[in-house]
Structure 1
Amino acid sequence: MWSTAGLLQTLSLSTIVAGGASQEPSAQLKNGTYVGRYSAEYNQNFFLGIPYAQPPVGDLRFRQAQSLNETWEGTREAFNYSSLCVGYGLDQTFYSQSEDCLTLNVVRPSGYSETTLSVGLYIHGGGFTNGGGGDQRYNLSFLVDQSVEIGKPFIGVSINYRLHAWGFLNSNEIASEGFTNIGLRDQRLAMHWMQENIAAFGGDSTKVTIFGESAGGASVGLHLTAYAGRNDSLFRAAILQSGNPIFYAAQNGNNVYQSQFDEVVAKTGCNGTSDSVQCLRQVSFEQLNATLGDLYLAHGNLGPIIDGDIVQNYGSVHLQRGEFVRVPIITGTNSDEGASLGPQGINTTEDFKATLASLPSSFQDEILQAYPDDLSVNVVASLGQQRPGPPYGAQFRRSASYWGDVYFIAARRQTATTWASNGLAAYSYRFNTIPHGVPPEVGAGHFKENVDAWPRYAVESPTNLVFDANVTSHTEVDGFRKEGIELINQHALEVYHR
């Protein structure tokens, strides 16, 4: 009997291998030559599972990824997606995982050998804790196919990067070695690899756009402000889907996560050693994976911290100071982000206020005033005057409006405004389509957009393009929930620590 994982893998490979060995494309990189697969169905070439770094195993565990240091004669096959990086959560369910995972995938439209193409580098989401470039929801064949259809062909690249504690284990010991935020640094190394090698696939290294959703969008934002906005000429444009330079959660330093590191050290027997980080590098994969899995169950996601290096300050501070790479951007969110991510069981004002307990008490009252129980302004707008029942609650829409704004929408507006204020091209969107099978109470929630003329965002005329399959897509003034969003943005640093 087929397992679900085996069936998914077979279905995904059936398209890849169509065309046969006689049509296998090749690419001569700096280190050697890869041979890929031709897809007759999409008229595309696939190069899958290509390493962009040395395997981060053994003594390279918990270190910044190292560039490849070998060359070879002949050819190597790039036929299959590699294993995903080790992570924890539902996105990993149907995929193999490995510590040796720093690979990327290239999807190239066939028939463009006489010209160089623009490149899109996709950074997957998953809370910096799960996901991967081989997840079939992120198959770039469909985007590349559409680019050919509209006469704007590009090459799509997706990457793996280290997740959760494998990529974001932080402590004073880790910081003293200079190995903070190594998952983010993995992404950066992949960009450098592309600068050196994408021409071998017919790509133009001067025409790279980085894009991503959720944690991927946040990653794009962090690369825009990396090293206080230093421009390393790794990309010429950026697309941020439900993620921004202003992080979606509080940004902390090493001290906040020291206790979690100490917990890992103790459970692996490394607490009695002179070099606990080096000891962790020698722990068996099985033992460390079990320990980090327990860490996830006990404490949840891990992600980037402020380390004074690649992430030098809060995102709101970087934007205020103008410390970001000056490139055009597209930034957008979904209408009902908070309906997917906010708490449920919100029936009264007291229930709503209870979810704000981490905020200063006086500020809680300001939030309650800025987010009234008014169905005419609350998400989910498609519900009209209807109040959701269990498990959502009569005031769920009020609460969801706030949580969507505080996670993503307020930062999106601030980012677009900052770009416009600096005379830079920014285009803003609101995704307002409810996919088939999604409950109406959730609406066009988080992670639903991976499915008119578009005006440039301007301070005096802030405008969104509204993507809507239920009615004709249109533009709108970006002024909804103005009081609440301004309140969040004005207090991004001192209240929300981001």
Structure 2
Amino acid sequence: MPPLLLYALVLISLLHPTRAAPTVILDRAKFVGKSGSANTASFLGIPFAQPPVGDLRFRLPRPIEPYATGLLKATAFGKACPQQDIDFPVFQGLPAEVVDIIVNDILSVITPDAEDCLTINVIKPQNATATSKLPVVVWIFGGGFEFGSAASNDGTKIVERSIAMDKPAIYVSFNHRVSAFGFLASKEIRAAGVGNLGLHDQREAFRWVQKYIAAFGGDPQKVTIWGGSSGAISVSLQMLTNNGDTEGLFRAAFMQSGSPIPTGPVENGQKYYDAIVAQTGCVSSKDTLQCLRGVPYPTLKKAMNASPGIFAFESLVLAWLPRADGVFLTDSPQRLVKTGQIARIPFITGDCDDEGTLFSVSAVNISTDDEYKNYIEQIWLPGASPKDLDPLYHFYPNVAAAGSPFDTGVFDALSKQFKRISAFQGDAVFQAPRRLFQKTLDGKQDQWAFLSQRMKAVPFLGSYHFSDLRNIFFDGELTDYLINFATDLHPNGPTVPLWPKWSTAAPNLMTFHDGRVRTSITQDTYRAAGMQLLTDLTFEFPI
């Protein structure tokens, strides 16, 4: 080797020394992670519960056995839990920008999947030690309770930002069971006490954090649970279970586009359970649930994929979602809110302006008022009388300027009823439940609320569902607010505008805008009469 080249290589090695891979001791095992950046370390794909395979399929998660002696790699995300196929309707004429958003913001969350999937990930400051006692944010991914994984959201930038703010924090994410594997619902499920398995998985992950996070430098007494979409709904339901007793698992909650939803008992999912039983050949079994535990994985997954997905005509009237099972949820979520069975912890919650647009693309064939009314009466509110629904049609009229994307006039009407359906779905599943949640808890605990109106110029979608995640995973204001909240139990700090609390007397919304003026405080009073009627109807006729 020429002397000059040798000298150059030595100089480079001195200026950029190779860092040893980060390690952590859990029980009697040493886990080897990887350096995520100049000042963070990542430990990925660590099992946090026993694999829910074989006879453990469709059972409550079981704690992981103590990690045995050995050197274990923790350098890659684990496989996602079994994913339901996404059948997104394809329409001619959608702008390339919209197609790109659909592909990259939604469809990209699908990763290789398997039943052995209950793994957890920790990203920490490189120099955090077992005595650091840093605050911890625990992220729950979204995906309509049908798909998604922890691998879809890398928290490295959040940890890096926390270090830059001199408020270092630890980021945790994990996989949980989804779709039929996590939310099978029927009378058989109630009898066996195995409803809402995906929520039980989340609870088990929280217990793992309590047991092991100190080894990474985290403080188990300073845990904030946080999620987006179905992950945010999950956060709210974690506040409702166990009569509101957190068991010391978390001290604060942060929800992006998700609140306690208007669902009913597990028996409301009976037709989907029966369909899977029939399609897997278990219909003649005396114990259909036990039979399903023995069905070959490909057969069961094929049957699950035959059920309506989130982009089917039924859209947000999901086949697989949390329902009252008598164990994790002793009643419907909104009834639990109203009866006060909820954790008394500070929380932040908010929505995007146009939550319903993304989920209404599948209903573009609805073009007349009669077809719209049939959609509401047959899919959304069967059992409600025409007299009950007439006011709803008044509050959500077929007037483009009143529909979603909001504040876009006659533009962005993908079909004759699209903006109307978008407004209805966005309010029914996201905006109205959030407002009920906040009103009911007014004066009982500290709370803050936001509204994201960014990306309003996206054709047909506007400030669509999921768009606010760009404001938190890529160094936006919400990143700083999250870090402040996890550290101080309030969102305010020197790097961001003042965010006042929400109350019924002063329903302040931290509102995020496009353009030069990026934030303002607006009032949470829009579409009040329509949302109140929606709340009343969905409370009486839950999904």
TM-score (norm 1): 0.87
Which has the higher relative contact order, 1 or 2, with Cα contacts under 8 A spaced 6 or more apart? 2
For the pair 1:356 / 2:356, whether they are aligned, the reply is: no
Gaps of 5+ in 2: 1-15, 87-106, 471-496
How far apart are residue 346 of structure 1 and its match?
6.2
One-letter amino acid of the structure 1 residue matched with residue 61 of structure 2 = A
Distance 1:356 1:416, change over 3 A: same
> Which stretch shows the higher mean deviation, 361-370 or 255-264?
255-264
* Distance in 2, Cα, partners of 1:380 & 1:92: 24
One-letter amino acid of the structure 1 residue matched with residue 330 of structure 2 = Q
Give the match for residue 432 of structure 1.
453
How far apart are residue 86 of structure 1 and its match?
0.6
2:218 aligned residue (203, 219, 223): 203
For the pair 1:479 / 2:522, whether they are aligned, the reply is: no
Q: Is the 8 A contact 1:329 1:427 kept in 2?
A: yes
How far apart are residue 339 of structure 1 and its match?
2.0
Aligned residues: 467
Give the match for residue 165 of structure 1.
180
1:344 aligned residue (343, 364, 377): 364
1:386 aligned residue (371, 392, 410): 410
Q: Is the 8 A contact 1:128 1:301 kept in 2?
A: no
Q: Is the 8 A contact 2:450 2:511 kept in 1?
A: yes
Q: Deviations over 1:90-129 (max 9, x none)?
A: 4477521111000011111222336221111111111111
Give the match for residue 366 of structure 1.
391
* Distance in 1, Cα, partners of 2:370 & 2:283: 45
Once the two structures are superposed, the pairs formed by residues 97-246 of structure 1 within 5 Å of their partners are: 97-113=113-129, 115-135=132-152, 138-245=153-260
Distance 1:60 1:360, change over 3 A: same
One-letter amino acid of the structure 2 residue matched with residue 379 of structure 1 = S
TM-score (norm 2): 0.80
Gaps of 5+ in 1: 1-18
* Distance in 1, Cα, partners of 2:440 & 2:218: 31
One-letter amino acid of the structure 1 residue matched with residue 182 of structure 2 = G
Secondary structure class of the residue paired with 2:540: coil
For the pair 1:443 / 2:462, whether they are aligned, the reply is: yes
* Distance in 1, Cα, partners of 2:113 & 2:507: 44
For the pair 1:278 / 2:297, whether they are aligned, the reply is: no
2:27 aligned residue (5, 27, 30): 30
RMSD of aligned C-alpha atoms? Answer: 2.5
Q: Deviations over 1:314-339 (max 9, x none)?
A: 22211211110000010100011122
> Which stretch shows the higher mean deviation, 145-154 or 370-379?
370-379
* Distance in 2, Cα, partners of 1:45 & 1:97: 25
One-letter amino acid of the structure 2 residue matched with residue 447 of structure 1 = F
How far apart are residue 296 of structure 1 and its match?
4.9
Q: Deviations over 1:466-493 (max 9, x none)?
A: 0123232100011111111122234442
Distance 1:254 1:410, change over 3 A: closer
Q: Is the 8 A contact 1:316 1:492 kept in 2?
A: no
State percent identity of aligned pairs.
Answer: 32
Secondary structure class of the residue paired with 2:442: helix
Q: Deviations over 1:272-315 (max 9, x none)?
A: 33433223222222222223223456996412221111111122
Secondary structure class of the residue paired with 1:310: coil
Distance 1:218 1:131, change over 3 A: same
